[in-house]
Homo-oligomer: A and B are copies of this chain.
Protein backbone atom coordinates (compact mmCIF):
# COMPACT_ATOMS: atom_id res chain seq x y z
CA UNK A 1 0.00 0.00 0.00
CA UNK A 2 1.99 2.95 -1.24
CA UNK A 3 0.63 6.37 -0.53
CA UNK A 4 1.26 9.30 -2.88
CA UNK A 5 4.67 10.85 -3.33
CA UNK A 6 3.31 14.18 -2.17
CA UNK A 7 1.78 12.58 0.91
CA UNK A 8 5.14 11.02 1.73
CA UNK A 9 7.32 14.02 0.93
CA UNK A 10 5.31 16.91 2.30
CA UNK A 11 7.19 18.44 5.21
CA UNK A 12 5.95 17.80 8.71
CA UNK A 13 5.38 21.13 10.45
CA UNK A 14 8.78 21.99 11.91
CA UNK A 15 6.99 24.03 14.54
CA UNK A 16 4.44 21.45 15.52
CA UNK A 17 6.59 18.34 15.51
CA UNK A 18 8.23 19.32 18.79
CA UNK A 19 4.86 19.89 20.43
CA UNK A 20 4.80 16.45 22.11
CA UNK A 21 7.89 17.43 24.14
CA UNK A 22 6.15 20.57 25.30
CA UNK A 23 3.03 18.54 26.14
CA UNK A 24 5.19 16.21 28.22
CA UNK A 25 6.72 19.14 30.12
CA UNK A 26 3.22 20.50 30.80
CA UNK A 27 2.14 17.06 32.00
CA UNK A 28 5.03 17.19 34.48
CA UNK A 29 3.70 20.45 35.87
CA UNK A 30 6.26 22.69 34.17
CA UNK A 31 5.23 26.13 32.94
CA UNK A 32 6.16 26.51 29.26
CA UNK A 33 6.42 29.95 27.65
CA UNK A 34 5.24 29.39 24.09
CA UNK A 35 7.08 31.84 21.90
CA UNK A 36 7.40 29.28 19.10
CA UNK A 37 4.18 30.04 17.24
CA UNK A 38 2.35 33.18 16.21
CA UNK A 39 -0.55 32.74 18.59
CA UNK A 40 -1.01 36.15 20.22
CA UNK A 41 -2.46 36.57 23.71
CA UNK A 42 -4.30 39.77 22.65
CA UNK A 43 -8.01 39.22 23.37
CA UNK A 44 -10.22 38.74 20.33
CA UNK A 45 -12.28 41.97 20.26
CA UNK A 46 -15.74 41.82 21.78
CA UNK A 47 -17.64 42.62 18.54
CA UNK A 48 -16.55 39.22 17.19
CA UNK A 49 -18.08 37.41 20.17
CA UNK A 50 -21.20 39.55 19.99
CA UNK A 51 -21.68 38.77 16.30
CA UNK A 52 -21.47 35.05 16.99
CA UNK A 53 -23.75 35.16 20.01
CA UNK A 54 -26.33 37.33 18.22
CA UNK A 55 -26.52 35.11 15.14
CA UNK A 56 -30.16 34.13 15.13
CA UNK A 57 -30.89 31.98 12.09
CA UNK A 58 -32.38 28.54 12.61
CA UNK A 59 -30.17 26.73 10.12
CA UNK A 60 -26.41 27.12 9.90
CA UNK A 61 -26.47 27.01 6.12
CA UNK A 62 -24.02 27.36 3.25
CA UNK A 63 -22.97 30.87 2.35
CA UNK A 64 -21.76 32.01 -1.08
CA UNK A 65 -18.56 30.36 -2.34
CA UNK A 66 -16.82 33.74 -2.58
CA UNK A 67 -17.94 34.77 0.91
CA UNK A 68 -20.70 37.09 2.07
CA UNK A 69 -20.93 40.30 0.06
CA UNK A 70 -20.96 42.57 3.10
CA UNK A 71 -17.70 41.09 4.36
CA UNK A 72 -16.09 41.34 0.92
CA UNK A 73 -17.15 44.98 0.82
CA UNK A 74 -15.79 45.60 4.33
CA UNK A 75 -12.44 44.13 3.30
CA UNK A 76 -12.38 46.28 0.17
CA UNK A 77 -13.15 49.34 2.33
CA UNK A 78 -10.28 48.41 4.63
CA UNK A 79 -7.88 48.59 1.68
CA UNK A 80 -9.43 51.90 0.62
CA UNK A 81 -8.39 53.22 4.04
CA UNK A 82 -4.82 52.59 2.91
CA UNK A 83 -5.50 54.48 -0.33
CA UNK A 84 -5.73 51.26 -2.27
CA UNK A 85 -9.02 51.58 -4.16
CA UNK A 86 -10.65 48.14 -4.38
CA UNK A 87 -14.20 46.92 -4.77
CA UNK A 88 -15.90 43.84 -3.31
CA UNK A 89 -15.39 42.21 -6.72
CA UNK A 90 -11.64 42.10 -6.05
CA UNK A 91 -12.03 40.12 -2.81
CA UNK A 92 -12.77 36.41 -2.39
CA UNK A 93 -13.08 35.17 1.19
CA UNK A 94 -11.05 32.06 2.04
CA UNK A 95 -10.74 29.63 4.92
CA UNK A 96 -7.83 31.42 6.53
CA UNK A 97 -4.78 32.88 4.86
CA UNK A 98 -3.78 29.23 4.40
CA UNK A 99 -6.42 28.61 1.79
CA UNK A 100 -5.59 31.95 0.17
CA UNK A 101 -2.00 30.74 -0.30
CA UNK A 102 -3.29 27.50 -1.78
CA UNK A 103 -5.64 29.26 -4.18
CA UNK A 104 -3.08 31.87 -5.24
CA UNK A 105 -0.38 29.29 -5.97
CA UNK A 106 -2.83 27.01 -7.79
CA UNK A 107 -4.18 29.87 -9.88
CA UNK A 108 -0.80 30.82 -11.32
CA UNK A 109 1.23 27.60 -11.34
CA UNK A 110 0.84 24.06 -12.67
CA UNK A 111 2.69 20.87 -11.83
CA UNK A 112 6.40 21.48 -12.34
CA UNK A 113 6.15 25.27 -12.40
CA UNK A 114 8.37 27.38 -10.17
CA UNK A 115 7.72 30.21 -7.72
CA UNK A 116 10.58 32.30 -6.37
CA UNK A 117 10.33 32.98 -2.62
CA UNK A 118 12.95 34.65 -0.42
CA UNK A 119 14.04 32.29 2.38
CA UNK A 120 13.68 31.93 5.32
CA UNK A 121 9.94 31.86 4.59
CA UNK A 122 6.65 30.91 6.23
CA UNK A 123 6.86 27.12 6.31
CA UNK A 124 3.34 26.50 5.10
CA UNK A 125 4.27 27.69 1.62
CA UNK A 126 6.01 24.31 1.44
CA UNK A 127 2.80 22.46 2.18
CA UNK A 128 0.81 24.22 -0.50
CA UNK A 129 3.61 23.95 -3.05
CA UNK A 130 3.63 20.19 -2.38
CA UNK A 131 -0.15 19.99 -2.76
CA UNK A 132 0.06 21.83 -6.06
CA UNK A 133 3.22 20.00 -7.16
CA UNK A 134 4.89 23.38 -7.64
CA UNK A 135 8.59 23.94 -6.97
CA UNK A 136 9.65 26.71 -4.61
CA UNK A 137 12.90 28.29 -5.79
CA UNK A 138 14.46 29.88 -2.71
CA UNK A 139 16.22 33.20 -2.80
CA UNK A 140 18.47 32.94 0.22
CA UNK A 141 18.62 35.93 2.57
CA UNK A 142 20.86 36.11 5.61
CA UNK A 143 20.66 37.42 9.11
CA UNK A 144 24.03 39.14 8.65
CA UNK A 145 22.45 41.31 5.90
CA UNK A 146 19.34 41.95 7.97
CA UNK A 147 17.37 39.72 5.58
CA UNK A 148 17.28 42.46 2.95
CA UNK A 149 16.19 41.52 -0.56
CA UNK A 150 19.23 41.02 -2.83
CA UNK A 151 19.92 42.97 -6.00
CA UNK A 152 17.68 42.77 -9.03
CA UNK A 153 20.39 40.77 -10.80
CA UNK A 154 20.51 38.23 -7.98
CA UNK A 155 16.74 37.77 -8.15
CA UNK A 156 16.85 37.67 -11.95
CA UNK A 157 19.37 34.81 -11.79
CA UNK A 158 16.66 32.64 -10.22
CA UNK A 159 14.19 33.17 -13.07
CA UNK A 160 13.80 30.28 -15.52
CA UNK A 161 11.27 29.54 -18.28
CA UNK A 162 9.28 27.65 -15.63
CA UNK A 163 8.99 30.63 -13.27
CA UNK A 164 5.39 31.76 -12.85
CA UNK A 165 5.56 34.12 -9.89
CA UNK A 166 7.60 35.85 -7.23
CA UNK A 167 6.10 35.68 -3.74
CA UNK A 168 7.00 38.39 -1.25
CA UNK A 169 5.92 38.27 2.38
CA UNK A 170 6.16 41.71 3.96
CA UNK A 171 6.08 42.30 6.91
CA UNK A 172 7.79 38.94 7.02
CA UNK A 173 7.17 35.87 9.08
CA UNK A 174 9.75 34.67 10.25
CA UNK A 175 12.22 37.56 9.87
CA UNK A 176 10.21 40.67 10.72
CA UNK A 177 11.61 42.39 7.64
CA UNK A 178 9.50 45.08 5.94
CA UNK A 179 10.59 45.58 2.36
CA UNK A 180 11.26 49.14 1.23
CA UNK A 181 9.66 50.54 -1.93
CA UNK A 182 13.07 50.19 -3.61
CA UNK A 183 13.19 46.49 -2.78
CA UNK A 184 9.61 45.92 -3.94
CA UNK A 185 10.35 47.70 -7.22
CA UNK A 186 13.03 45.15 -8.08
CA UNK A 187 10.34 42.49 -8.04
CA UNK A 188 7.83 44.72 -9.81
CA UNK A 189 10.31 45.39 -12.63
CA UNK A 190 11.12 41.70 -13.00
CA UNK A 191 7.44 40.75 -13.03
CA UNK A 192 6.98 43.10 -15.98
CA UNK A 193 10.15 42.04 -17.77
CA UNK A 194 9.51 38.29 -17.47
CA UNK A 195 5.69 38.28 -17.56
CA UNK A 196 5.32 36.97 -14.00
CA UNK A 197 2.72 37.23 -11.27
CA UNK A 198 3.65 38.97 -8.05
CA UNK A 199 2.07 37.40 -4.98
CA UNK A 200 2.10 39.40 -1.77
CA UNK A 201 1.51 37.83 1.60
CA UNK A 202 0.68 40.95 3.59
CA UNK A 203 -1.23 39.53 6.54
CA UNK A 204 0.92 41.48 9.03
CA UNK A 205 0.19 44.80 7.32
CA UNK A 206 -0.75 46.59 10.58
CA UNK A 207 2.30 45.46 12.47
CA UNK A 208 4.96 47.89 11.30
CA UNK A 209 6.90 49.81 13.94
CA UNK A 210 8.91 52.96 14.61
CA UNK A 211 6.48 55.14 12.67
CA UNK A 212 7.20 53.38 9.39
CA UNK A 213 4.39 52.40 7.03
CA UNK A 214 3.80 49.32 4.95
CA UNK A 215 3.94 49.54 1.18
CA UNK A 216 1.64 47.05 -0.50
CA UNK A 217 2.32 45.58 -3.92
CA UNK A 218 -1.30 46.54 -4.66
CA UNK A 219 -0.05 50.13 -4.83
CA UNK A 220 1.87 49.41 -8.06
CA UNK A 221 -1.09 50.05 -10.33
CA UNK A 222 0.92 49.70 -13.54
CA UNK A 223 1.16 45.97 -12.81
CA UNK A 224 -2.26 45.59 -11.24
CA UNK A 225 -3.08 42.61 -13.45
CA UNK A 226 -0.05 40.79 -12.08
CA UNK A 227 -0.73 41.29 -8.39
CA UNK A 228 -2.38 38.81 -6.02
CA UNK A 229 -2.49 39.56 -2.30
CA UNK A 230 -3.00 36.95 0.39
CA UNK A 231 -4.84 38.31 3.38
CA UNK A 232 -6.07 37.04 6.75
CA UNK A 233 -7.81 38.33 9.87
CA UNK A 234 -5.98 35.87 12.14
CA UNK A 235 -3.26 38.21 13.37
CA UNK A 236 -4.95 41.50 12.46
CA UNK A 237 -7.74 40.87 14.98
CA UNK A 238 -6.15 38.14 17.09
CA UNK A 239 -8.55 35.43 16.01
CA UNK A 240 -6.39 32.68 14.54
CA UNK A 241 -9.05 30.05 15.23
CA UNK A 242 -11.62 31.83 13.05
CA UNK A 243 -10.00 30.72 9.77
CA UNK A 244 -11.00 33.72 7.68
CA UNK A 245 -8.74 35.09 4.97
CA UNK A 246 -8.99 36.42 1.44
CA UNK A 247 -7.47 36.43 -2.02
CA UNK A 248 -7.31 39.98 -3.33
CA UNK A 249 -6.72 40.57 -7.03
CA UNK A 250 -7.72 42.86 -9.86
CA UNK A 251 -6.90 40.23 -12.49
CA UNK A 252 -10.27 38.91 -13.71
CA UNK A 253 -8.85 35.57 -14.88
CA UNK A 254 -7.20 34.91 -11.54
CA UNK A 255 -10.36 36.03 -9.80
CA UNK A 256 -12.49 33.60 -11.81
CA UNK A 257 -10.06 30.72 -11.24
CA UNK A 258 -10.08 31.40 -7.49
CA UNK A 259 -13.88 31.58 -7.55
CA UNK A 260 -14.01 28.14 -9.17
CA UNK A 261 -11.55 26.77 -6.59
CA UNK A 262 -13.77 28.30 -3.93
CA UNK A 263 -16.88 26.65 -5.39
CA UNK A 264 -15.21 23.25 -5.10
CA UNK A 265 -15.04 23.64 -1.31
CA UNK A 266 -18.52 25.22 -1.15
CA UNK A 267 -17.99 28.12 1.30
CA UNK A 268 -16.00 29.50 4.22
CA UNK A 269 -17.53 29.08 7.70
CA UNK A 270 -20.64 31.20 8.15
CA UNK A 271 -20.38 32.29 11.80
CA UNK A 272 -16.79 33.52 11.55
CA UNK A 273 -17.64 35.63 8.52
CA UNK A 274 -20.23 37.41 10.66
CA UNK A 275 -17.56 37.87 13.34
CA UNK A 276 -15.07 39.17 10.77
CA UNK A 277 -17.56 41.73 9.48
CA UNK A 278 -18.07 43.14 12.95
CA UNK A 279 -14.29 43.31 13.43
CA UNK A 280 -13.76 45.35 10.27
CA UNK A 281 -16.57 47.65 11.36
CA UNK A 282 -14.55 48.64 14.46
CA UNK A 283 -12.60 51.00 12.21
CA UNK A 284 -8.89 51.60 11.79
CA UNK A 285 -8.33 53.17 15.22
CA UNK A 286 -8.39 49.70 16.71
CA UNK A 287 -4.92 49.03 15.40
CA UNK A 288 -3.00 51.89 17.06
CA UNK A 289 -2.81 50.55 20.62
CA UNK A 290 -2.25 47.01 19.32
CA UNK A 291 0.68 48.16 17.19
CA UNK A 292 2.14 50.02 20.17
CA UNK A 293 1.75 46.93 22.32
CA UNK A 294 3.67 44.78 19.82
CA UNK A 295 6.34 47.42 19.42
CA UNK A 296 6.91 47.41 23.20
CA UNK A 297 7.13 43.62 23.16
CA UNK A 298 9.62 43.74 20.34
CA UNK A 299 11.72 46.25 22.24
CA UNK A 300 11.66 44.09 25.36
CA UNK A 301 12.67 41.04 23.33
CA UNK A 302 15.35 42.76 21.29
CA UNK A 303 16.89 44.39 24.33
CA UNK A 304 16.81 41.14 26.31
CA UNK A 305 18.37 39.12 23.51
CA UNK A 306 21.00 41.84 23.07
CA UNK A 307 22.47 40.87 26.41
CA UNK A 308 23.31 37.38 25.15
CA UNK A 309 26.83 37.12 23.77
CA UNK A 310 27.51 35.38 20.49
CA UNK A 311 24.13 35.83 18.89
CA UNK A 312 23.43 37.50 15.54
CA UNK A 313 20.13 39.21 14.83
CA UNK A 314 18.58 42.24 13.19
CA UNK A 315 15.91 44.46 14.72
CA UNK A 316 12.54 43.44 13.22
CA UNK A 317 10.67 46.29 11.55
CA UNK A 318 7.33 44.50 11.52
CA UNK A 319 5.20 41.39 12.15
CA UNK A 320 6.00 39.77 15.52
CA UNK A 321 8.89 37.45 14.86
CA UNK A 322 12.65 37.53 14.93
CA UNK A 323 15.21 35.08 13.59
CA UNK A 324 18.20 34.74 15.91
CA UNK A 325 21.44 32.98 15.09
CA UNK A 326 22.70 31.22 18.23
CA UNK A 327 26.24 30.18 19.16
CA UNK A 328 25.30 26.48 19.01
CA UNK A 329 25.50 23.65 16.47
CA UNK A 330 21.92 22.41 16.15
CA UNK A 331 18.96 24.49 17.17
CA UNK A 332 16.45 21.63 16.92
CA UNK A 333 18.48 19.70 19.47
CA UNK A 334 18.61 22.81 21.66
CA UNK A 335 14.86 23.44 21.46
CA UNK A 336 14.11 19.83 22.35
CA UNK A 337 16.60 19.90 25.20
CA UNK A 338 14.96 23.03 26.60
CA UNK A 339 11.66 21.15 26.74
CA UNK A 340 12.96 17.84 28.06
CA UNK A 341 15.88 18.81 30.30
CA UNK A 342 15.96 22.47 31.22
CA UNK A 343 13.92 23.97 34.06
CA UNK A 344 14.39 27.33 35.83
CA UNK A 345 12.12 27.59 38.85
CA UNK A 346 10.03 24.94 37.11
CA UNK A 347 9.69 26.99 33.94
CA UNK A 348 11.02 26.60 30.43
CA UNK A 349 10.63 28.15 26.99
CA UNK A 350 9.64 26.82 23.60
CA UNK A 351 11.03 28.55 20.51
CA UNK A 352 11.00 27.30 16.90
CA UNK A 353 14.10 25.85 15.20
CA UNK A 354 14.63 27.92 12.04
CA UNK A 355 15.75 25.17 9.69
CA UNK A 356 12.19 24.45 8.62
CA UNK A 357 11.85 28.02 7.37
CA UNK A 358 14.55 27.44 4.76
CA UNK A 359 14.25 25.15 1.78
CA UNK A 360 18.01 25.09 1.07
CA UNK A 361 19.38 22.08 2.98
CA UNK A 362 21.58 22.98 5.95
CA UNK A 363 20.45 26.60 6.14
CA UNK A 364 19.21 27.95 9.45
CA UNK A 365 20.52 25.01 11.44
CA UNK A 366 21.90 27.28 14.17
CA UNK A 367 19.00 29.74 14.10
CA UNK A 368 15.69 29.93 15.93
CA UNK A 369 12.52 31.94 15.39
CA UNK A 370 11.02 33.70 18.37
CA UNK A 371 7.47 35.09 18.30
CA UNK A 372 6.82 38.06 20.57
CA UNK A 373 3.25 37.13 21.26
CA UNK A 374 3.27 37.36 25.06
CA UNK A 375 2.70 40.42 27.22
CA UNK A 376 5.77 42.39 28.32
CA UNK A 377 6.08 40.83 31.73
CA UNK A 378 5.80 37.25 30.40
CA UNK A 379 8.10 38.15 27.53
CA UNK A 380 10.76 39.43 29.95
CA UNK A 381 10.55 36.29 32.03
CA UNK A 382 10.64 34.06 28.95
CA UNK A 383 13.86 35.74 27.81
CA UNK A 384 15.45 35.25 31.26
CA UNK A 385 14.61 31.57 31.15
CA UNK A 386 15.75 31.32 27.53
CA UNK A 387 19.09 33.00 28.35
CA UNK A 388 19.69 30.75 31.35
CA UNK A 389 18.87 27.69 29.26
CA UNK A 390 21.16 28.75 26.46
CA UNK A 391 24.04 29.39 28.91
CA UNK A 392 23.59 25.96 30.46
CA UNK A 393 23.28 24.29 27.05
CA UNK A 394 26.54 25.85 25.88
CA UNK A 395 28.39 24.43 28.87
CA UNK A 396 26.94 20.96 28.19
CA UNK A 397 27.34 21.04 24.40
CA UNK A 398 30.19 23.45 23.76
Q: Which residues of A come within 8 Å of B, CB atoms?
A: 1, 3-8, 10-13, 16, 37, 39-44, 48, 52-53, 55, 58-63, 65, 95-96, 98-99, 102, 106-111, 113, 124, 126-128, 130-133, 164, 195, 197, 225-226, 238-243, 251, 253-254, 257-261, 263-272, 275
Whether the Cβ atoms of A1 and B226 lie closer than 8 Å is: yes
Distance of A180 from chain B, by nearest CB (Å): 26
Whether the Cβ atoms of B239 and A127 lie closer than 8 Å is: no
Distance of A252 from chain B, by nearest CB (Å): 10
Closest B residue by C-beta to A268: B243
- B contact residues around A16 at 8 Å (CB): 65, 263
Given A4-B164, A53-B53, A195-B1: A261 in contact with B127 (beta carbons within 8 A): yes
Whether the Cβ atoms of A266 and B98 lie closer than 8 Å is: yes
* Contact for A5 among B110, B131, B272, CB less than 8 A: B110
Given A43-B59, A59-B41, A238-B59: A253 in contact with B95 (beta carbons within 8 A): no
Whether the Cβ atoms of B266 and A240 lie closer than 8 Å is: yes
* Contact for A7 among B44, B48, B108, CB less than 8 A: B108
Q: 19 other contacts beyond A52-B55, A110-B133, A269-B269, with CB at 8 A cut-off?
A: A1-B226, A7-B106, A10-B261, A10-B264, A37-B62, A43-B59, A96-B265, A98-B265, A98-B266, A124-B265, A127-B260, A127-B264, A127-B265, A128-B264, A131-B261, A131-B264, A240-B266, A243-B266, A269-B272
Distance of A231 from chain B, by nearest CB (Å): 15
Whether the Cβ atoms of B240 and A61 lie closer than 8 Å is: yes
- B contact residues around A98 at 8 Å (CB): 264-266
- B contact residues around A8 at 8 Å (CB): 253, 257
Whether the Cβ atoms of A3 and B265 lie closer than 8 Å is: no
* Alpha-carbon gap, A130 to B110, bound state (A): 10
Closest B residue by C-beta to A267: B241
